[in-house]
Amino acid sequence: MSRGQFITLEGGEGAGKSTQVRILAERLKAAGIEAVATREPGGSPGAEAIRALLVTGDPDRWSAVSETLLMYAARRDHIERTVRPALERGAWVISDRFADSSRAYQGAGGGVSPDFLEAMETHVLEHTRPDLTLILDLPVEQGLARAGQRGGAEARFEAKGTAFHERLRDAFLAIAEAEVGRCVVIDATATPETVSDAIWAAVQARLPFGQGS
């Protein structure tokens, strides 16, 4: 059986990634492909426990380096327990965030050095890398307004301020520009239906569609 495909959705707060992960997984399943929808931080029992430490509480609860270490501890468990087993059995994995979020949030946003993040990727990710990354882009103010409507306790990153989130947006777009073979930027200001159609078109164009089941 061939290895499955690994798709990640990235972007700032309120971009609609969770909704689009669910829609894409449903479309893949309708096409006869086993699809596993997951998220970061989280996606496995151990990683979900760490998630609670990361997304709740005061914005300054952790230093950027401590935050990075927690993120990568969660990411390693997610990879070991969820991502790799699914890919190895031929399933397609669709993750709401992955390592690009650390480059943006802890790197561009928090000031963690690129060398440190690269070392973490090398040792934690090893060969588990996305085949396709869809970056959902929209203006910061619009994204934060959407995110604010969700409510709930998981608002630690949303509370970090507009300048922080502008750095995130710039970082995601820079990643897309630097890795055009892997990344596609999707206009997230459109309706959810239009966004999902753009995502579906990108998946069909970029991946060996229908061969992952």
Yes or no: say if 132 and 180 are a contact pair by the CB < 8 Å rule.
no
- Structural domain that includes position 17: 6-206
Let me know if residue 186 belongs to a domain. Answer: yes
pLDDT digits over 132-189, tens only? 999 999 999 998 888 878 767 778 898 888 999 999 999 999 999 999 999 999 999 9
CB atoms within 10 A of CB 99: 24
Q: What is the mean pLDDT of the chain?
A: 94
Tell how strand 132-137 and strand 183-187 pair up.
parallel
35 in helix, strand or coil? Answer: strand
Let me know if residue 60 belongs to a domain. Answer: yes
* CA–CA separation, 154 and 158 (whole Å): 9
pLDDT surpasses 60 at 68: yes
Let me know if residue 184 belongs to a domain. Answer: yes
pLDDT surpasses 90 at 210: no
Q: What's the structural domain count of the chain?
A: 1
Q: So what's the pLDDT on residue 154?
A: 79
Looking up residue 53, the CATH number of its domain turns out to be 3.40.50.300
Let me know if residue 211 belongs to a domain. Answer: no
Q: So what's the pLDDT on residue 133?
A: 98
Yes or no: say if 176 and 185 are a contact pair by the CB < 8 Å rule.
yes
Let me know if residue 173 belongs to a domain. Answer: yes
User: Mean pLDDT over residues 190-210, rounded?
Assistant: 92
Burial letters for 180-197: b for 16+ Cβ neighbours within 10 Å, e otherwise? eebbbbbebeeeeeebbe
pTM assigned to the model: 0.94
Q: So what's the pLDDT on residue 1?
A: 64
Let me know if residue 89 belongs to a domain. Answer: yes
pLDDT surpasses 80 at 44: yes
pLDDT surpasses 70 at 121: yes
Q: So what's the pLDDT on residue 159?
A: 87
Q: Choose among 41, 131, 25: nearest CA to 79.
A: 41
Q: Which residue has the tokens 């689009």?
A: 20
Let me know if residue 1 belongs to a domain. Answer: no
pLDDT digits over 49-63, tens only? 999 999 999 999 999
Q: Assign 213 a pLDDT band (cuts: 50, 70, 90).
A: very low
Let me know if residue 213 belongs to a domain. Answer: no
